[in-house]
Amino acid sequence: MKMNIKFDYSFICETVLKEQLDALGLQYTLINMGEVVFQKKPTDLEREKIVQALARYGIEVLNDPHNVLVQRIKDCVTALIKDDDKARKYTVSSYLTDELNYSYSYLSTVFSEATHSSIENFIILKKIDVAKQLIIHKNLTLTEIAYKLNYSSVAHLSAQFKKTTGLTPSAFQRIIKKRKEKGITP
């Protein structure tokens, strides 16, 4: 028997984080995505236990301030892409500047130095990832997907999709449809 499951990565990570920190008896507050404020600074032993407990779930504790900022940029971009209303209200640069309290040029420089790629390229990859998920799991037209992801047109979405994946969105849809007809889970 096959069962299809939908899950929310952010919710799962937050739940695992809460369970592991609660198990260690630490007093904390979760703020934003990927940020924890402790009521008192964890001892070295507690910190090591946190690192080990979270590592089992593929959650890494970041130490380098630039890596922390890069992760916050990625989290903000992801949140912006998933929120249709915010995506239409803000440009990415103004959203990141408002959320992270740094100039966009500084954020862009830190991101590029750490990842050897631009924020703009990350946005494109993230949007195409979301577009693929929408094609696989939702019954939306390409026009609806383009609108949802704040593309100016279906042609713009299609061009970026093809450049990124090597397939047009229509070709990708056909492949997914054929796989589903054959009972193959995409």
* The pLDDT value given to residue 145: 93
* The pLDDT value given to residue 33: 65
Q: Residue 63: which H helix or E strand, with range?
A: none
The helix, strand and coil proportions of the chain, stated in percent and rounded to the nearest 5, come to 65, 5, 30
> From first to last of its 186 residues, what are the pLDDT tens digits of the chain?
777 777 777 788 889 989 999 999 989 998 866 788 899 988 989 999 999 999 999 888 888 888 889 999 999 999 899 887 777 788 899 999 999 999 999 999 999 999 999 999 999 999 999 999 999 888 788 999 999 999 999 999 999 999 999 999 999 999 988 888 888 776
CATH 1.10.10.60, the chain: domain bounds: 123-181
Contacts of 87 (CB under 8 A, 6+ apart): 80, 81, 149, 150
* The pLDDT value given to residue 62: 82
* The pLDDT value given to residue 6: 76
> CA–CA distance from 43 to each of 21, 30, 46, 68, 174 (Å)?
14, 19, 5, 21, 55
* The pLDDT value given to residue 56: 92
Instruction: Compute how many other C-beta atoms are within 10 angstroms of the C-beta atom of residue 26.
Output: 16
Q: At 38, phi and psi to the nearest 5? A: -95, 145
Q: How far apart are CA 78 and CA 73, in angstroms?
A: 9
* The pLDDT value given to residue 156: 95
CATH class of 123-181: mainly alpha
42 DSSP assignment: P
Task: Evaluate if pTM is beyond 0.75.
Answer: no
